[in-house]
Amino acid sequence: MMFVGISLAILSPETISRLIGAESGPFGIAVALIAGSVTLIPSFVTFPLGAALLKDGAGYAQIAAFVSTLMAVGVMTLPVEIKYFNRYTAVLRNISALLVSIIFTVVIWRLM
């Protein structure tokens, strides 16, 4: 919880938009995928945040990568997930969720 608090406060909206701007391409998408995977933000904050980042110049594909991994991939909650399932299932589920997010991002990239 506190880890997210710290990282979100340090990264200003301007920095985020520069990293994942509409022109940032695959690099920006990779940054967004990683950022979404390792952070944990209340879901009702996720989309207002995504919309705000779009307004600040972030690209649709990058935001798609960010919000989808934010909700589906949980690196922070992996220890909890392993406790409820086992290492094999939890790791595979997170990898598959990352793949689904990448597919979704590519479709958004092509269509929007």
Partner 1 sequence: MISNENNAMNPGISTMLKKYRFAIGLALVIAAIYFTNRSVGTEAFGISVSNTKEMLSLLPPVFILVGLLDVWVPKETIIRYMGEDSGWKGILMALFLGSAAAGPLYVAFPITALLLRKRARLAYILFFLGVWSTTKLPILLYEISYMGLKFTAIHAAVGLPFFLLFSIIIEKVMPEDSRESLYRKAEMELP
Q: Which residues bind partner 1 (CB under 8 A)?
A: 1-6, 8-10, 40-48, 50-51, 54, 60, 63-64, 67-68, 71-72, 74, 77, 80-81, 84-86, 88-89, 92-93, 96-97, 99-100, 103-104, 107-108, 111-112
Q: Which is nearer to partner 1, 19 or 91 (CB)?
A: 91
Find the shortest distance in angstroms from Cβ 35 to partner 1. Answer: 15
| DSSP SS3 for 45 | helix
Find the shortest distance in angstroms from Cβ 25 to partner 1. Answer: 19
Segment holding 109, helix H or strand E: helix 87-111
Find the shortest distance in angstroms from Cβ 95 to partner 1. Answer: 9
Q: Which is nearer to partner 1, 26 or 96 (CB)?
A: 96
Question: In terms of Cα–Cα distance, which of 91, 42, 89, 92 is closest to 67?
Answer: 42
Residue 79 to residue 94: CA distance in whole angstroms: 12
Q: How many CA atoms lie within 13 Å of 56's alpha carbon, on the beta-carbon side?
A: 17
Residue 94 to residue 78: CA distance in whole angstroms: 8
